[in-house]
Each structure stands twice: as C-alpha cells, then as structure tokens.
A = this chain, B = another copy of it.
Amino acid sequence: MTNKNGKKSNEDTGLDANLNAYLKDNADGQLEELMEWLRIPSVSTQAKYREDMVRAAQWLGDRLETAGLENIEIIETQNHPLVYGDWLHAGANRPTVLLYGHYDVQPPDPEEKWNTPPFEPSVRDNNLYARGATDDKGQLFLLVKALQALMDTRGKLPVNIKFIAEGDEESGGPALETYVKLNGEKLAADICLVSDTEIVSPDQPSLIYGLRGLWGCEVVVRGPKGDLHSGMYGGVIHNPAQALAELIAAMHHGDGRIAVPGFYDDVADLDPAEREKLAESPQDDAVFLEETGVPALYGEPGFTPVERIGARPTLEVNGMWGGFINEGFKTVIPAEARVKISCRLVSNQDPDKIARLFTEYVTQIAPPTVSVEVIPLFGIRAVSVDPDSPAMRAAGRAYEKGFGAAPVFKREGGGIPIVLAFREVLDAQVVFLGFGLPDDNAHAPNEKIHLPNFYRGIRTVIHFLDELATGKG
C-alpha cells in the first residue's frame, strides 16, 4: 500500500523486526475490522441511534479485551456509555498514559451527497469512506491496534495505559466530564494522548498546541400564531424568516468582525514570536482556496488564515430554516424561523459570558414586531498546551519516525471538550497525536480516512509510547 506520493505507508519506520512483520501481516485484518466498526451507525445526537450507540460501546470494549487490556468496563451514564480499560504493569518508574477517543459520530446529513452510503464503508484510491472514518472511530481504533500490536509481539506495554472512550463528544454531553471529576484517582495519568485531530498533509505531520472552545445556541424568531398566506397578510406583519435574516446579518460587521459588543474582550493578542511560528505553516491563502473551492476567502481583517482558524474566535451559522423548504413553491409567511449558531472561542473567552453577551445583543436588536428567544445549548473553553513539554518533544520524535518528517506547530480550529477536564482535574500533560487530513471531510458528506495515515498512525503511536518509556526529555 502506498500513499498519494508513492511512498509505502506500511514501510518499516524503525520498529523492531517482530513488530514490523506483525504490522505488515495484520494490515488487511485491521482494515476489515475497522470497516466492521464503521458499519455501526453510532450517531449520538439522534434518538433513533441509541441502541447502535450501546452496540458500538460493547464492540469497543470487546476489542480492548482482545488487545490485552484489563478491567474492561462499559460504564452507564445519563447519556451514552463510557468504555474503560487499563494495563498497569509497566512499573512505577514508567509513566501512565491515558488514551482518549470518542466512538460517536456526526449525523450523516445530507445523506444524498454521499457517493457511497455513510455506514457502508468503501475503499477507493487508498481512502476508506464512511461516517466516523477519521472523526473519530478510525483514529480511536488505531490506538487500540497499536496497543494490541505491542501486546501480541512483546507481551507487554512500554508504559502504563488507561483507556477511556466516550459517546457524547459530538453532542456536547457532560457524561465524561462528570465521570472525570468524580474519578480523578482512577483516571490519574501523567500524559493524555488524544487522537482526534488532523495533520497538515500525508507527508507533513503537525503538532497542535491550542484548541478553540465552542459555544452553541438556537435562536427562534416567532411571528404570527400560524403560517399565513403571503397575499392576504403580506405587507402588514414582519416575516419571521426576514426578521431572522436581519438578526443574523447584524451579528457581523461588514468586514467580517463579530458585532456582538464585548465579544473580543477576553481574546489575547498574538505575540510576534507565535505569529512567526504560525507563518511557517504551508497553509496559505492558496491552500485554503484550493481546499474549499470558494471564490475568495473571508474573515477578520489583520490576521492570516492560519491565525484566524486557530487564534481568533468565530460566530457561524450551522443551520438556518423557516417556511416552505420542499420541492415546489408555497406563498406563505412562516409562523417562525430558526437558526443554529456556534461560536469558536479562544484564549480566555468564557462560554457563559459569551452566552450572556450574545443573548443581550440579540435581545437588544430584536425588533418589536416579532418575539425572539435564544436557547443556549453547550459551551466549552479553549485550551492551549506548552509546545515544549517532554511529552510534546516525545510526540515530535514519534511523528518524525512515523512519517519521516518533523512536525510543524499548529493551533487547531476545532475543540475537543474533554481536554480541559483532563488537564484541570487530572493535571496531565495533553498531547494531540492526530492522523486526520484537511480533506478528510470530517462532519461532512464523504468523510474518509487516508489509509496510509491510518497505518502510519499505528506506528507513530507505538513510537510515542516507546519514546515516553525511555524518559528522554
């Protein structure tokens, strides 16, 4: 198997001969097993998939057991189950690493835009297409396979391992956070390995030292008590869809800055040294234009795209609807219109404060002709880690061995809710060892994982655990 630049993806990356042979021999089986895993539609935000979520948790627990982990638990919560397992026999002089991933996936909508069905995994051109292939079932699965490879070949692991997976990452459910807070001792670790991010390109790994936070809400604009005929009432009442559009338009200034007063108050300035480091990223305007296909980029003036994605907050419409949206035409004034909005947060922005500022602003600009309700849904703070910690240096060496190239440093635009609790409750160093790619279509139709990355990912995780065992800073 070769990656898109022609290099072998399952090439020897300096692992011992046994491991190397094992990984080559088991590559096909690992792929088949991953496809079985992706066939379970583990969508956390929609009630109809509830049983599939339980099935996915059970499946993962079984695989942890097969990999040689102990004390496997499927932990019931008020939302979806957690999955736990550990192996704690490396000795007190070796660090303890908590491995994290999530087995829930985004809804597959819009399903008609998938080339092959979202829950029928399909391999094309070295990519495996399925919902969850990269975010996060594929990446979670490669952690398990790395542990299994070590156990199967060496009969032991180089470090003490705790493994926790959740099913509420995409729905913002608090189950894992609550569990972490109540079980600080059980989950105590020196390092948290999070594999739920992406690297810049198949041949250019990147190390993340910042993640944005997230605050989300739904805004409802209500007008008449029922839908009205636009001929009989058009001209005397404020169309709720129009009123909502006017509210949405007022959320940004014309130049792309967010118009909510106070929104930027707790955003730290970027220091010149960091800007220099970020400027080394190969992701310039041309890359984003090519990746997205938009006619021109957009965003806050005074910042590069990489800065805007990692170090600046956003306010985005994730969904907006009102009135007649089916085939045909219906000359109706809708009774209400709704929008789902989320804000990416950075630095010290507090989701609760953002909720208050946003609600105050919307309430203040809402016209008297409709009623407006803001329903806050979830919020997590941004996080940043020391790019120069021993664990980060170990991750850098692991990436270099696994991919043949030293990683660049990066701020990531998306958030991973639980990371904050790992750091604050467990006091662990967090390392993001991700293997997704920018064109993996996470959260979108035709999500995929690049198979060479999947295999290199397994090797990189093994290198990382070995690096941690040597204790080199």
Residues of A that sit less than 8 Å from B by CB: 45-47, 106-107, 109-110, 113, 171-172, 198, 212, 214, 216, 223-239, 241-242, 244-246, 248-252, 256, 288, 292-300, 305, 308-309, 312, 314, 316-334, 337-340, 342, 344, 367-371, 377-378, 412-415, 438, 441-446
Given contacts A312-B235, A413-B234, contact A324 B224 (CB under 8 A): no
CA distance A249 to B216 in the complex (A): 23
Q: Which residues of B contact A377 (CB under 8 A)?
A: 329
Given contacts A45-B327, A294-B369, A316-B242, contact A344 B445 (CB under 8 A): no
Task: Determine if A288 and B237 form an interchain contact, defined as CB atoms under 8 angstroms apart.
Answer: yes
Task: Determine if A319 and B322 form an interchain contact, defined as CB atoms under 8 angstroms apart.
Answer: yes
Given contacts A47-B327, A323-B317, A369-B298, contact A444 B344 (CB under 8 A): no
**Shortest Cβ distance from residue A65 to the other chain B in the assembled complex, whole angstroms:** 31
Find A442's partner among B229, B245, B251 (CB 8 Å cutoff). B229
Q: Which residues of B contact A340 (CB under 8 A)?
A: 323-325, 329-330
Q: Which residues of B contact A334 (CB under 8 A)?
A: 317-319
Task: Determine if B234 and A316 form an interchain contact, defined as CB atoms under 8 angstroms apart.
Answer: yes
- Write the chain B residue with the least CB distance to A48: B327
**Shortest Cβ distance from residue A388 to the other chain B in the assembled complex, whole angstroms:** 25
Instruction: Count this chain's copies in the assembly.
Output: 2
Task: Determine if B344 and A415 form an interchain contact, defined as CB atoms under 8 angstroms apart.
Answer: no
Given contacts A46-B327, A230-B316, A413-B235, contact A294 B223 (CB under 8 A): yes
Task: Determine if B232 and A308 form an interchain contact, defined as CB atoms under 8 angstroms apart.
Answer: no
Task: Determine if B171 and A300 form an interchain contact, defined as CB atoms under 8 angstroms apart.
Answer: no
- Write the chain B residue with the least CB distance to A298: B238
Given contacts A249-B245, A370-B295, contact A328 B107 (CB under 8 A): yes
**Shortest Cβ distance from residue A299 to the other chain B in the assembled complex, whole angstroms:** 5
CA distance A321 to B327 in the complex (A): 13
Q: List 20 A-B contacts (CB under 8 A).
A: A113-B226, A226-B441, A226-B445, A233-B309, A234-B309, A235-B299, A235-B344, A237-B297, A239-B316, A242-B251, A242-B316, A244-B245, A244-B320, A245-B320, A249-B250, A296-B368, A297-B369, A298-B369, A317-B323, A332-B443
Q: Which residues of B contact A314 (CB under 8 A)?
A: 230, 234-235
CA distance A453 to B288 in the complex (A): 63
Given contacts A309-B232, A320-B321, A326-B46, contact A224 B293 (CB under 8 A): yes
Given contacts A227-B445, A330-B106, contact A236 B321 (CB under 8 A): no
